[in-house]
Structure 1
C-alpha cells in the first residue's frame, strides 16, 4: 500500500495544492463579493457560475486531453486558472467575476480529471479503495487548510488572490516533473438519465437534492457568517469545522451503509442534517462557539450524502455500467449545484442570513422523505451483493458527459475514481 501511494505521490501533492487553492478561492470570492456590496442574489449567481463551468468542463476537457495529452492539458488549464484568480483583484465587477468563476470551474474540472484518471490508472483492484480513501483524506485536509488561509491577509486586499494564483501555479510542478507514465486518453461515457432513475430512484433523486443544499452552503455559508457580524477568522473556522465534521463522520456512515440498507443511512443522515441546519438557523447567532459547533454538525451529515448516493446507485447498476452511473450522478449533482448556489443567494436576500439554513433543512427533509418512500418500494440488497463504500471527493470529475439520445444506449468503458 505504501509503495502504491509513493508511486503517485507527485499527483497527490499536486491535488493537495490545487484543492487548498480552490478551497481558499471559493470562500474568498464569497466574502470579498459581500465586502464589495454586490447584491446578495447576484453573489449566489456568480458562485453558481463555477458549477456551470465545472459541468461544461466535464463535457469538453476530455477533447483537449485526447488532442494534446494529460500534461499539456494540465499546464494550459492551470495557467488559465492562475490568471483567472489574479483577474478577480484587477476588475471588481459582478458580471466579470461570474465569467471568471465559470472559467475557473471549467479549468478545475479538467485539472481534477487529469489527476483522478492518472491515479485510477496507477491503482489496482486490490488497492483502489484504499488509495481513493487517501485521496479523500488529502481532499478534506487541503480544503481545511485552504479555508484557514483566509486569516493570513485581509480579504479586501490583493494578497489572498495572489496566494491562490501562486498555489495553482505551483501545482504545475509535481505533474510536469512526474516520472509516472501518463494514463490512456479518457473515453466517452454515454449517460442515460432516465435509465439511472429507473435503476436507482433514491440515488438519482438524492444526488441533485443534496446539491441544491450543499452548493448553497459552500457558496453562501461565508456570507451567512459575515452577515452575522463575524470576522475572517470566524468564517474560516466555520467552514473548516464543517469539513472536519464531514471527515469525522464520512467513514462511519460508509461503514454502516455497507452493513444495512443504504437508504436507511441516507434517510437518517438527511434527517440529522436537516435538524442540524434548523438548529443552526435558530441558534447560530447566539454565540461563536455554537455557530462553529452546529456548522460542524451540518457538514458531518450533508457533505457525505453524494458518496452514499453513488454507492447505493452502484449497488443496483451492472458492473459494466459503473462509469455511466457515476457520470450520470455527477451530472445531476452538477446541475443541482448550479441551481442551489443561486438559490442560496436569493433566499438570503429575501429572508435574511439565517434563512439559508432553513432552506438547507427543508431540502434535506425532502431528501429523507424520498429515501423513506423508496424503502417501502424495494427490498434492500443483501450485504454480500453490495459494492464497498468509497468516499467521493468534493471535486470529483471522472468522465466526459455525453447524454444518450435513446434509452438503452451503449456505455463506453472508462476509468472512474469511484
Structure 2
C-alpha cells in the first residue's frame, strides 16, 4: 500500500487541502448570505451557480489543460479558485457571489480532471481500484472536515473566508514541488445524450433527478438549519452529517445492488427518501440531536443513489462506451444539481424551511414513478450480465472512470494534436526540467494515458 501511494502522495495532499477549503465554503456561504440578509432565492441562485460553473468546467477545462499542461493549468485554476474565495467578503452582493461561484465551479472541475488523470496514470492495473477508492474516501473526509471546521470560527468576520482561501492556496504547493512526471496529454470524449438515453434511460433520468435532490440538500441544508432555530455550529454539523452518512452507506448499498436489480434498490431509496422527507417536513426540529438524526437518515436515503444509477448505466453500456456513459451521467448530474438549489429556495421562500424536504419528497416521488414504469418495460439483467459495483468509478465527485485502457471510436475523440502549444512545450527540455518532464510513450512500466470522462 505504501509503495502504491508513494508516487501520488503529493496529489492526495493537494486534494485534502483544496476539498477542505471547498467544504468550508459550501457551508459558509449560505450561512453568511443569511447574515447579510440575502433572500432565500438569492442564496439558491448563488448555490446553483457553483454547479453551473462545474458543468462549464466539464466542457471547457480540458482545453485549458491541453493548452497549458497539467502543472501550469493546475496552478492557474487553483490560484483562481483561491482568489475567488477571498472575494466574497469584499464584494457582498448576490450577483457578485453568483459570478464568483461560477468561477469556483469551473476551477474545481479542472482540478478534478488534473488530479484524477494523474492518479489514473500513476496507478497500475493491480492497484488502480485501491488508489481511486482511497482518493474518493479522502474527498468525502476532507469535505466533511471542511464543513465542520466552521464551528471554530465566527462567520460574521473575515476569518472563515480567509481560511478557505488559504486552504485552497496550499493545494498548489505539493503538486508544484513534486518531481513526479506529469501525465500524457488528455483526450476529450464527446457526449451523445440521445445514445445514452437509448442505452439506459433509467440511469440518465435517475441521475438528473438525484442531482436536483442532492444539489438542494448539500447547499441549502445549512440555511434550513438556521431557519428552524439551530445555531451556526449546529447547522454545520447537520450539513456534514448528510454528506458523511451518504459516504459511509454508499459501499454497502452498492454491494446490495450487485445481488438484485439495481432499479429495485433505487426505488427503495426513493421511497425511503419520500417517507423521511414528509415526516420531517411536519416536525419541528427541537435541537441538534434531532437534526443529526434527520441528517443521518437523509444522507443514507439520498446520497448513494447516484452510484447505483451509474452502475446501472454501466451494466447496459459496452466496455468501449464507459467513458462516454460516465461523461453523460456526470453532465446530467451537474445540470440537475444546478436546478436543485434554485427550486429549493423558491419552495422555501413560499412555505418556509420545510420546503427543502417537500422538494426532496416530490423529486424522489417522480423518480420512483419513473423507475416503476421502466420495470414494466425492460426486464432485469442476470448477475452474470452486470458489472460489479465499484466505489471509485461510481462516485459523483470525479472525472476519471476507465479501469483499463479503452479503445475509443475516433469519432468520439478530439486529439491533442489540435493543441500544438501543449506538445511544443512538452518537447522543450527546459520545460521538461521545470515540470518534471512528460512520461515517455515507450515506457512499459507506465500504463497508457486514460481518457477523461468529460462532457
TM-score (norm 2): 0.87
User: Relative to 1, partners in 2 of residues 1:417 and 1:249: Cα closer, same or farther, differing over 3 Å?
Assistant: farther
CA contact (8 A) 1:314 1:322 kept: yes
Task: Map residues 20-35 of structure 1 onto 2, 5 A cutoff.
Answer: 20-35=20-35
CA contact (8 A) 2:30 2:219 kept: yes
Equivalent-residue separation in structure 1 for 2:98 and 2:136 (angstroms): 28
Q: Is residue 264 from structure 1 mapped to residue 264 from structure 2 by the alignment?
A: yes
Equivalent-residue separation in structure 2 for 1:22 and 1:415 (angstroms): 26
Equivalent-residue separation in structure 2 for 1:267 and 1:126 (angstroms): 34
Instruction: Give the structure 2 partner of residue 325 of structure 1.
Output: 325
Equivalent-residue separation in structure 1 for 2:413 and 2:385 (angstroms): 24
CA contact (8 A) 2:188 2:451 kept: no
What SS does structure 2 have at the residue aligned with 1:156? coil
Task: Map residues 5-154 of structure 1 onto 2, 5 A cutoff.
Answer: 5-154=5-154
Q: Is residue 244 from structure 1 mapped to residue 244 from structure 2 by the alignment?
A: yes
Task: Map residues 202-221 of structure 1 onto 2, 5 A cutoff.
Answer: 202-221=202-221
Instruction: Give a deviation string over 1:116-169, Cα, whole Å, max 9, x none.
Output: 111111223333222222112111111110011111111111000000010001
Q: Which is further off, 265-274 or 199-208?
A: 265-274
CA contact (8 A) 1:74 1:111 kept: yes
CA contact (8 A) 1:283 1:291 kept: no
CA contact (8 A) 1:284 1:294 kept: no
TM-superposed CA distance for 1:385, in Å, is 2.4
TM-superposed CA distance for 1:29, in Å, is 0.7
CA contact (8 A) 1:139 1:393 kept: no
TM-superposed CA distance for 1:412, in Å, is 3.0
User: Relative to 1, partners in 2 of residues 1:409 and 1:366: Cα closer, same or farther, differing over 3 Å?
Assistant: farther
CA RMSD of aligned residues (A): 1.8
TM-superposed CA distance for 1:180, in Å, is 2.5
Over alpha carbons, which structure has the higher Rg? 2
Task: Map residues 236-315 of structure 1 onto 2, 5 A cutoff.
Answer: 236-283=236-283, 285-315=285-315
Q: Which is further off, 389-398 or 241-250?
A: 389-398
Q: Which is further off, 216-225 or 287-296?
A: 287-296
Equivalent-residue separation in structure 1 for 2:126 and 2:390 (angstroms): 13
Instruction: Give the structure 1 partner of residue 423 of structure 2.
Output: none
Q: Which is further off, 107-116 or 387-396?
A: 387-396
Equivalent-residue separation in structure 2 for 1:385 and 1:5 (angstroms): 33
Q: How many residues align?
A: 410
Instruction: Give the structure 2 partner of residue 405 of structure 1.
Output: none
What SS does structure 2 have at the residue aligned with 1:90? coil
Equivalent-residue separation in structure 2 for 1:240 and 1:282 (angstroms): 23
Instruction: Give the structure 1 partner of residue 417 of structure 2.
Output: none
Q: Is residue 397 from structure 1 mapped to residue 399 from structure 2 by the alignment?
A: yes
TM-superposed CA distance for 1:409, in Å, is 9.4
TM-superposed CA distance for 1:417, in Å, is 7.4
Instruction: Give the structure 1 partner of residue 412 of structure 2.
Output: 411
TM-superposed CA distance for 1:87, in Å, is 0.6
TM-superposed CA distance for 1:11, in Å, is 1.0
What SS does structure 2 have at the residue aligned with 1:191? coil
Equivalent-residue separation in structure 2 for 1:417 and 1:329 (angstroms): 9
CA contact (8 A) 2:281 2:355 kept: yes
Equivalent-residue separation in structure 2 for 1:193 and 1:48 (angstroms): 22
CA contact (8 A) 2:323 2:453 kept: no
Instruction: Give the structure 2 partner of residue 403 of structure 1.
Output: none
CA contact (8 A) 1:398 1:416 kept: yes
Equivalent-residue separation in structure 1 for 2:381 and 2:183 (angstroms): 35
CA contact (8 A) 1:16 1:138 kept: yes
